[in-house]
Chains A and B, each alone.
Chain A
């Protein structure tokens, strides 16, 4: 024990002393990664790091020929701490770029750091809409490899309308990600002729939907849910138990692979939309899913896929840059020039540095997949909307002219 303590003390003294003077070798790519390894989002954080690490391991710890120094810092699930840790990575470890960040607020907190420190920040999960929309001008060193919250729910709104649903009630977690996802769905659904007749906002982390379910209006065609984390497990269970028989559709996080293995058979038939499903039936995805499952013992969620793809993207970009990091502006240009074939399908960046990617409408089914011998729940793809942009079909100018989706935007015109 004393020995260990001595080591720690010695270590901290050394680190304190050497903090200032530790720039590393020239041909090394230093990547700082922000994820939670403690706090309530620790599991998501692990999925994120695992995805990135798996690509590194598959490629001998190199990206585009450069040796990678991959430094993970724990943001403890707090946006404020993520800023401290990002600064540590930039100031002390002299990283070339920061990647990661889970929550939308984390993305909002880290983007200004990238501007202030002139260091690239790649948001590989955080999906806050406005960062690649109205606020992008403020963040010249920011780009995204994941999605905007409303990117998958726009097509879902269209799809729901095409199913002949006329009246829908939305129930979504009461924070920015919820507003943006629900907003995108409502906009597309109503533009196609549907009506959202009620919007319910339970707080993030709600464990009992008892008070909300009875308020859901009776005369409707479907419920749209936007749940996050443990909420995803609870809501469909309670809604079905209350005797509700009509369809439930949802944003991606309501049924993603992070929650799906813990769900019961009552969710079979529920439909959701996201830019990734572990059940995409392509050879590229099958290889990815099998390798990931063999390594980490679980089916990859989009958190893992997004980060695996980010690493793949970096690999291609560094290679194109000649095995060296060329500085943030040049690097972003290279990233924009790459068309990638990822497990999720083809991806490329638009001119606002957000991916253009397929959106998958997925139905939960119980089946065998990829040669696994047990019946499991999978998000079977029932329709693919190819090459969806964050502006959907509205066009960039028209879309950016409207405010960012919020609790009260789009207004609930048909609410009774």
Chain B
């Protein structure tokens, strides 16, 4: 078993290597990496719910969307957030994501399992409907263009500078969420995931715990949205559409729910296939589909389950078949 410190060191080393290599590999790669990292924040927020609290949210795009629309509307209509006030927009984006989650959470957290999934889906579609139909504010189907990125001493119009900014947000988000899930509060979330009834009997207000987790995830979703709006300079209902939520969910499952690194790896793989491989070959969709199917068939714990699968295989050599089956049973 690798100790926790070594794992952290590995992740940190990977991040440093990533931050060093990407800016040296061509502007398109920088752009893609920037987009993937902004989206990875959203994926990690989904993981907070799915992986740690056991809530499969299908409406995470709503918080992502309000963050993105807030940024775009402020910039396009009020020229706000293009200088130092960018940081204010970041704060507002987090707050609006959290506030919307606080509102939606009142409806959604009451339900569990499939019903939670359906309610979040419906609420997410409400957000999409607003984006699509509230023409005067959102520009409807045409969306909103942001003509420039913020500039405050640092010129974010420079791809590499912007990459480092998003990288910083991404790394800080990851650390914050890591601290969160390792905290007593995070442990109680895991407890709720494993057996909610027992937690209730132990005296935990599980509704409140879930509600708070939901709001925090919404806040991170809003942050991801703010950054996302600036990656391509274009926000449209497509940003809030159901597939954005589903994508985030699939990325988490692909990488391995219940590990923040897994959510990130899942995001990287999906972006790599969908936005990079698609520029090279026409059959990228088969690859993406194949990866999903193989993961679900053979790696129910996602790609992050590979090391433990390997360990089990090594350990089970020489042991009976029965214990092997028991050991690989997915949780």
Q: Which residues of A are at the interface with B, using a C-beta cutoff of 8 A?
A: 8, 11-12, 15-17, 19-20, 37-38, 73-74, 76, 78-81, 83-85, 87-88, 91-92, 104-105, 108-109, 111-113, 115-116, 128, 138, 175-176, 204, 406-407
> Closest chain A residue to B30 by CB distance?
A91
Also in contact, A19 and B238, with CB within 8 A (given A11-B280, A88-B279, A108-B145): no
* Residue contact B28 to A175, C-beta cutoff 8 Å: no
Whole-angstrom distance between the alpha carbons of A61 and B50 in the complex? Answer: 52
> Closest chain A residue to B22 by CB distance?
A16
Among the stretches B6-14, B58-66, B136-144, the one at the interface with A is: B136-144
* Residue contact B236 to A80, C-beta cutoff 8 Å: yes
Within B277-294, the residues touching A (CB, 8 Å) are 277-282, 285
Q: Is the interface of A mostly helix, strand, loop or mixed?
A: helix
A38 to chain B, nearest CB (A): 6
Does B174 have its Cβ within 8 Å of any Cβ on chain A? no
Interchain CB contact (< 8 A) of A15 among B143, B275, B280 = B280
* Residue contact A112 to B233, C-beta cutoff 8 Å: yes
> Closest chain B residue to A20 by CB distance?
B26
* Residue contact B32 to A84, C-beta cutoff 8 Å: yes
Chain B residues within 8 Å of A128, by CB: 142
* Residue contact B28 to A87, C-beta cutoff 8 Å: yes
Also in contact, A112 and B279, with CB within 8 A (given A16-B25, A20-B26, A92-B27): no
B168 to chain A, nearest CB (A): 22
* Residue contact B27 to A80, C-beta cutoff 8 Å: no
Interchain CB contact (< 8 A) of B236 among A19, A37, A74, A109 = A109
> Closest chain B residue to A103 by CB distance?
B141
Also in contact, A85 and B279, with CB within 8 A (given A91-B27, A104-B142, A176-B141): yes
> Closest chain A residue to B149 by CB distance?
A116
Whole-angstrom distance between the alpha carbons of A104 and B277 in the complex? Answer: 26
We find that the number of chain B residues with CB closer than 8 angstroms to chain A is: 34
Interchain CB contact (< 8 A) of B25 among A17, A113, A116 = A17
* Residue contact A38 to B29, C-beta cutoff 8 Å: no
User: Assuming A16-B29, A79-B234, what are 15 further A-B pairs, CB within 8 angstroms?
Assistant: A17-B25, A74-B278, A76-B274, A79-B236, A79-B238, A81-B275, A87-B31, A88-B279, A92-B28, A105-B238, A111-B145, A112-B147, A113-B233, A176-B140, A176-B142
Whole-angstrom distance between the alpha carbons of A111 and B145 in the complex? Answer: 9
Chain A residues within 8 Å of B279, by CB: 73, 85, 88, 92
Within B216-250, the residues touching A (CB, 8 Å) are 232-234, 236, 238-239
Does B276 have its Cβ within 8 Å of any Cβ on chain A? yes
Does B35 have its Cβ within 8 Å of any Cβ on chain A? yes
* Residue contact A16 to B147, C-beta cutoff 8 Å: no
> Closest chain A residue to B243 by CB distance?
A78
Also in contact, A105 and B232, with CB within 8 A (given A11-B280, A91-B31): no
Give 13 pairs: A residue, B residue, CB < 8 Å, sorted on A.
A12-B277, A12-B280, A19-B28, A76-B274, A78-B238, A79-B143, A79-B236, A84-B32, A87-B27, A88-B28, A105-B142, A109-B234, A128-B142
Does B312 have its Cβ within 8 Å of any Cβ on chain A? no
* Residue contact A84 to B143, C-beta cutoff 8 Å: no
Chain A residues within 8 Å of B278, by CB: 73-74, 76
Chain B residues within 8 Å of A112, by CB: 145-147, 233-234
> Closest chain A residue to B235 by CB distance?
A80
* Residue contact A175 to B280, C-beta cutoff 8 Å: no
* Residue contact B233 to A116, C-beta cutoff 8 Å: yes
Does B135 have its Cβ within 8 Å of any Cβ on chain A? yes
Whole-angstrom distance between the alpha carbons of A72 and B24 in the complex? Answer: 26
B131 to chain A, nearest CB (A): 12
Interchain CB contact (< 8 A) of A138 among B142, B143, B147, B281 = B147
A3 to chain B, nearest CB (A): 15
Which of B31, B238, B276 has most chain A Cβ within 10 Å? B238
Also in contact, A80 and B239, with CB within 8 A (given A74-B278, A407-B135): yes
Interchain CB contact (< 8 A) of B143 among A16, A88, A105 = A105
Whole-angstrom distance between the alpha carbons of A272 and B222 in the complex? Answer: 46
Whole-angstrom distance between the alpha carbons of A66 and B67 in the complex? Answer: 46
Chain A residues within 8 Å of B142, by CB: 104-105, 108, 128, 176
Chain B residues within 8 Å of A407, by CB: 135
Interchain CB contact (< 8 A) of A105 among B27, B28, B236 = B236
Chain A residues within 8 Å of B234, by CB: 79-80, 83, 108-109, 112
Whole-angstrom distance between the alpha carbons of A176 and B143 in the complex? Answer: 10
Whole-angstrom distance between the alpha carbons of A79 and B27 in the complex? Answer: 20
Which of A15, A111, A406 has most chain B Cβ within 10 Å? A15
Chain A residues within 8 Å of B26, by CB: 16, 19-20, 91-92
> Closest chain B residue to A173 by CB distance?
B141
A117 to chain B, nearest CB (A): 10
* Residue contact A80 to B32, C-beta cutoff 8 Å: no
Chain A residues within 8 Å of B274, by CB: 76
Whole-angstrom distance between the alpha carbons of A16 and B35 in the complex? Answer: 17
Chain B residues within 8 Å of A15, by CB: 280
Chain A residues within 8 Å of B145, by CB: 108-109, 111-112
Chain B residues within 8 Å of A138, by CB: 147
* Residue contact B141 to A19, C-beta cutoff 8 Å: no
> Closest chain A residue to B31 by CB distance?
A87
B292 to chain A, nearest CB (A): 16
* Residue contact A84 to B31, C-beta cutoff 8 Å: yes
